[in-house]
Amino acid sequence: MKKMNMVFAVGLLWFIQCVFLPAIQLGTVCITGSSIHIGHSKPRVAVEGESMFVLEGSSVPEWPGLCTHHFRSETNQVRAAQPCNGRYTKSLSNLTKLQRLYLSSNFLSGGIPSSFGNLSRLKFLKLFNNSLRDSIPTQLGELSQSLELDFSKNYISGSLPVELRGLRSLRKMEIGDNGLEGSLPEDLFLSLNHLEVLVVSGNRISGFVPAVL
């Protein structure tokens, strides 16, 4: 009887946490191919009351998405690390209320999706230490609310697009240790009035540093 009461108490505590916690943290797990049920008949992860979802030290399937059939469109934070194999079913760009996207230190490859420019509420985009290639999409200039971008330690090529001048709220840009070429466009930095940190070392950038910096 005592054992049954203990099991019931633990189960009740778990249920309360699932219902009332403002965020769910899953440490070093892979939800690919599995379903997590929390108060819903359909397989998805959701937190009632608060629009936040955190995958702390969790797993990321193939780029450019990560099992977003588990997420609600109200999700505003996705954090993942420690990669695993898997398949995505929806693009992360469908998470229209996303504010924080942390996908650093995974085996992500290919290019940064241009559809990320549709994440109009995105404030933090961390993609450092992956295997991303191609150029920086000009559509990222649509992220007018973004505060920090970190694409460092990848294989990104091309030049720094002047369209990023639309990042008028940006405070920190880290794009070091890539394959970027060309000069730093002065027209770009004239618009970034709030920029405090700029890291471009480890590239093939040439020319003069814009006077505005």
pLDDT tens for residues 140-173? 999 999 999 999 999 999 999 999 999 999 999 9
**211 & 130 share domain:** yes
Predicted TM-score (pTM) of the model is 0.65
**78 & 113 share domain:** no
Instruction: Assign residue 211 the CATH number of its domain.
Output: 3.80.10.10
User: Is residue 2 situated within a structural domain?
Assistant: no
Asked if residue 82 lies in contact with residue 28, where contact means CB atoms within 8 angstroms, the answer is yes
User: Is residue 11 situated within a structural domain?
Assistant: no
> What CA–CA distances, in Å, run from 10 to 4, 7, 17, 71, 106?
10, 5, 11, 26, 34
Given this model, what pLDDT does residue 97 score? 80
**61 & 157 share domain:** no
User: Is residue 60 situated within a structural domain?
Assistant: yes
| 9 or 34, greater pLDDT | 9
**25 & 118 share domain:** no
| 137 or 39, greater pLDDT | 137
Domain stops at, among 70, 98, 126: 98
**87 & 122 share domain:** no
Given this model, what pLDDT does residue 67 score? 41
**122 & 76 share domain:** no
Say how far apart CA 173 and CA 71 lie, in whole Å: 28
Domain stops at, among 98, 122, 142: 98
**116 & 208 share domain:** yes
Given this model, what pLDDT does residue 19 score? 38
Say how far apart CA 3 and CA 60 lie, in whole Å: 38
User: Is residue 103 situated within a structural domain?
Assistant: no
Cα angle value 15/12/27 (rounded, 5°):
50
76 has a pLDDT exceeding 50: yes
Query: Which residue segment(s) compose the domain that 26 sits in?
Result: 20-98
Mean pLDDT computed over every residue of the chain: 68
**138 & 60 share domain:** no
> What CA–CA distances, in Å, run from 172 to 88, 120, 193?
29, 18, 11
Q: Give how many domains the chain has, as a whole number.
A: 2
User: Is residue 49 situated within a structural domain?
Assistant: yes
User: Is residue 7 situated within a structural domain?
Assistant: no
179 in helix, strand or coil? strand
For the segment 89-103, what is each residue's pLDDT rounded down to a tens digit?
345 667 778 888 888
User: Is residue 24 situated within a structural domain?
Assistant: yes
**144 & 90 share domain:** no
Domain stops at, among 80, 98, 116: 98
Given this model, what pLDDT does residue 52 score? 33
Query: Beta strands of 48-190 (E only): which ranges?
Result: 77-79, 100-102, 109-111, 124-126, 131-133, 148-150, 157-158, 172-174, 179-182
Asked if residue 69 lies in contact with residue 63, where contact means CB atoms within 8 angstroms, the answer is no
What average pLDDT does this structure show over 72-87?
45
Given this model, what pLDDT does residue 130 score? 87
33 has a pLDDT exceeding 80: no
Query: Beta strands of 29-167 (E only): which ranges?
Result: 77-79, 100-102, 109-111, 124-126, 131-133, 148-150, 157-158
